[in-house]
Amino acid sequence: MPPRHLLSTLIMIFSLGTLLSPVQSQAQSQPPYWTKAAPPTVARQELYPEVLNRKIYVVGGLLSPNTGFSAHFESYDPLNDAWTVLRPLPEARHHITLSAVKGSLYGVGGFTGGFPDWRAQSTVFIYNPSSNTWTRGTDLPVARAEGISAVIDHKIYLVGGRVRAAENARLFDDHIDSVRNEVFDPATGRWLARADAPTPRNSAASAVIDGKIYVVGGRQFFKNADGTTRQVNVPNLEVYDPKLDRWQTRSPMPQARGGLAATSLGGKLYVFGGEQWVPEQKVFAESWVYDPKIDVWKALPPLPTPRHGLGASAVGDRIFVFGGGTRTGGNAATAIHEVLVLPRDL
């Protein structure tokens, strides 16, 4: 039998281990590696999460089947591996972006309707975490959905996505891909036009690194002469410098993917999952990291569960990847939550 002091030490270690979340306590090999965390409370896809005060916020999204869409709003606390349901969005949306500015969250644009009755919206909703309330903000100049948003110097940039081809557009096919780049300053309450993006696209992903916006992947929607349509992925990586109001093209992704997720950590861009429609329908598991200093992409361990329309957010030395669909299109939404653990010295 071990000495009393050793036995007490072993009991203490075991007790601490049981108090730690699955994300914190699971022993694995050398990073990078994937582990699991608590699932969101609702299965959904087409997510654009945001981090505020080291918590991850997720709003709206598509349900399964894809005729359903949501006003659901919740936050995830990585320290406690726990989700908290918050006051829902005033109106259900999917493909709505979420941006954090000075302690508030801005839900911008998005679609209403279940497929194919998608209609881009111009509304902006502002969430106050202290009071758990939403208020109405300044509408977009043009209704838009499936774009990306990013925050630099307390201003929100909205890039690309789909806009209505005509004001009465009410179907997915009634929208076109956009190169619009607009910035919102909460201090003035105004949206202003900035330099258009080089590539019109929807369902891209983005992250901010060193004061610049990195926009990657996505797809372009085409109508053929015979009336059929096709969606073609693009691998393009384009970088916007708001100080110069200028775009730069960098090395493209090794794979062209739409509906992917992205985040930044340690000065690098991380991308996950996605889907393609041509030449064959496919959902991706591959994950990549891009180093802006050397303009090079490298492979990461693939997602344990391939999916698209997922969300990704970095907190600490970990990247939390949640939700998304396991089949192409708007069905098969999940509440899967997988975590990429990275070396602390990145």
- Are 125 and 105 in contact by the 8 Å Cβ rule? The answer is no
Q: What is the pLDDT of residues 64-122, one digit of tens each?
A: 988 899 999 999 999 999 999 999 999 999 999 999 999 999 999 999 999 899 999 99
Domain-embedded: residue 100: yes
Domain-embedded: residue 306: yes
- Whether the per-residue pLDDT at 14 is higher than 80: the answer is no
Beta strand spans in 69-189 (E): 73-77, 82-85, 97-101, 104-108, 111-112, 119-120, 124-128, 133-136, 148-152, 155-159, 162-164, 175-177, 181-185
Interatomic CA distance for residues 273 and 286, integer angstroms: 6
- Are 149 and 207 in contact by the 8 Å Cβ rule? The answer is no
Domain-embedded: residue 3: no
Parent domain of 203: 28-341
Domain-embedded: residue 9: no
Q: Tell me the two tokens of residue 313.
A: 């957010």
Number of domains into which the chain is organized: 1
Q: Tell me the two tokens of residue 67.
A: 């005729």
Interatomic CA distance for residues 247 and 340, integer angstroms: 30
Among 265, 262, 316, which Cα is nearest to 288's? 262
What is the predicted pLDDT for the residue at 294? 98
What is the predicted pLDDT for the residue at 5? 47
Domain-embedded: residue 324: yes
Domain-embedded: residue 12: no
Q: What is the pLDDT of residues 111-150, one digit of tens each?
A: 999 989 999 999 999 999 999 999 999 999 999 999 999 9
Domain-embedded: residue 325: yes
Q: What is the pLDDT of residues 143-152, one digit of tens each?
A: 999 999 999 9
Q: Which residues contact 236 (CB under 8 A, 6 or more apart)?
A: 198, 199, 201, 215, 216, 217, 218, 249, 252, 253
pTM over 0.85: yes
CATH of the domain at 267: 2.120.10.80
Domain-embedded: residue 141: yes
